[in-house]
Amino acid sequence: MKCTLMNKYTGVLVAEYDSATSVFTKIYEVKDINYAPYILKSLYIEKDINDASFRTNLSEWFKGRGIPSWRDKLDLLLHRLNITAPYELLDKAFGLSLSDQYWLKPEGSNISYDDINFFDNDFDYAEFMEASLSDNSKVITKVSSLKTPNNTTDGMLKKAWIIDNGTRYLLKGGYKNETLQPFNEVLASEICKRLGFDHVEYTIDTYKDMVVSKCPCFVTKNTEFVTCHQVINDMKRHDSIKDYEEYIKKLEDNGIENAREKVENMYILDFLIMNEDRHLNNFGIIRNVNTLEWFDVAPIFDNGQSLNMEYFDDEEVHISGNGRFFYEVKPFDEIIKVVRDLKRIDISKLDGLVEWFDELLHKYQHLTGYSDTRINKLCILLNRQINKLKRLIEE
């Protein structure tokens, strides 16, 4: 299929796309590389538009927009949708997403972005939500429509975009048989709200007796989310501390105000909830797709892999105690040292948080099956981290 890779209304390049393999086999013309995905612009070689490495990176970027091979219960999802691989979904809805404005416009087509984008136009989601989140194992033999942003959702957790009173929300379940992730997302939201950190607001919802988190889309039809991984791709790799400092400088040089403090807020949150999964693709910046201006640091989101207890009993809680800082796995007590001024945090705003979390976990105890002991240990762990941060502030 000959098509144009579009960024909203702007053509980026004209290429041949093979739906059977989800690979771009040829690039005919580069129209405006400035509007390309940020990671591709740094890899572009003007003198050779069909450079093999650039085409490979273009294909990898496009595949990366889809459902990954490590999605929880992926085989079951594919079975229910009656397809054999996630990449079959990539171009079903022109490659559209709710994270950015890129799409594929077939050659000769008069279709416009305004006609098809998922920010303005409704989409079907009931069948995908059933296939992704339900415990029912039936196959959906006649899928009415695969024109949905659910085709382009990354991450390992079962999830589904829905529309509720005109707002686009993402529902996200737990991992395998674990159900703590949705509660961690809501806990993170509550902490951010109390401390004044910019964040995506998560709430608890249920789907067929399954606890899920629910959050609104934080991208608009005029913006895109550019991951830290993309931002630092064209930087020479050193160690994590040096790369962190270069990342902050790059944000500041591109006009983002208070960039350091906003990124520090994320690591403060990670310390409090012991988030083990702050990888380079779940934080970054928001870019205006019309002007290409770097608008702001992305709000804090994706905090589910937290408060992980390897085991617990009446006397002990055993945890791994390690987080992620750029390329390294490090103890949270080390990561928190990147914050230059902890005294700006009013820790008293977290008074009563542990009791709030205890009440939340007990409210849904009939669905999760959590024992009173487990809930108590989770609250003890949270309280321990709050007290550790308080001591660091007072030093």
Query: How far is the first Cα of the chain from the last one, in angstroms, to the nearest whole number?
Result: 63
State residue 230's pLDDT score: 94
State residue 146's pLDDT score: 75
Cα→Cα distances 151→126, 172, 208, Å: 13, 15, 22
**What number of other Cβ atoms are within 10 A of residue 254's Cβ?**
15
Q: Which residues of 15-47 are buried (b: 16+ CB within 10 A; e: fewer)?
A: bebeeeebbbeebeebeeeebbbbbbbebbeee
Answer yes or no: pTM beyond 0.75: yes
Closest CA to 251 of 226, 268, 269, 217: 226
Q: Which residues contact 390 (CB under 8 A, 6 or more apart)?
A: 347
- For Cα atoms 342, 344, 346, give the angle at the middle one, nearest 5 degrees: 100
State residue 138's pLDDT score: 53
State residue 33's pLDDT score: 94
State residue 141's pLDDT score: 47
| 3-class secondary-structure state, position 266 | helix
Residue-wise pLDDT tens digits, 16-60: 999 888 899 999 999 999 999 999 988 887 667 777 888 999 999
Cα gap 295→123, rounded to integer Å: 28
State residue 47's pLDDT score: 60
Cα gap 61→376, rounded to integer Å: 44
Q: Token pair of 190, please?
A: 């509550």
Q: Where are the domains of the chain?
A: 223-394
State residue 316's pLDDT score: 64
Closest CA to 273 of 336, 156, 187, 179: 187
Provide the residue-wise pLDDT of the chain in tens; the chain has 395 residues: 999 999 999 999 999 999 888 899 999 999 999 999 999 988 887 667 777 888 999 999 999 888 877 777 777 777 777 777 777 777 788 999 999 999 999 999 999 999 999 999 999 888 778 877 776 555 554 455 678 888 888 887 788 899 999 999 999 988 767 789 999 999 999 999 999 999 999 999 998 888 999 999 999 999 999 999 999 988 888 788 899 999 999 999 999 999 999 999 999 999 999 999 999 999 999 999 999 999 999 999 999 999 987 666 666 666 767 999 998 999 999 999 999 999 999 999 999 999 999 999 999 999 999 999 999 999 999 999 999 999 999 98
Element (H, E) at 239: none
Classify domain 223-394 at the CATH topology level: 1.10.1070
Burial class (CB in 10 A: 0-12, 13-18, 19+), 233: middle
Cα gap 244→339, rounded to integer Å: 12
State residue 46's pLDDT score: 67
**Strand 294-297, strand 284-288: pairing:** antiparallel
Element (H, E) at 211: strand 210-216
State residue 176's pLDDT score: 67
State residue 250's pLDDT score: 96
Closest CA to 9 of 93, 117, 97: 117
CA atoms lying within 13 Å on the CB side of residue 381 = 24
State residue 362's pLDDT score: 98
Sequence-ordered alpha helix ranges (H) in the chain: 38-41, 52-63, 74-81, 113-116, 126-133, 180-195, 228-231, 240-253, 259-273, 332-335, 353-363, 365-368, 372-394
The answer to whether 118 touches 220, Cβ cutoff 8 Å, is no
Cα gap 30→91, rounded to integer Å: 20
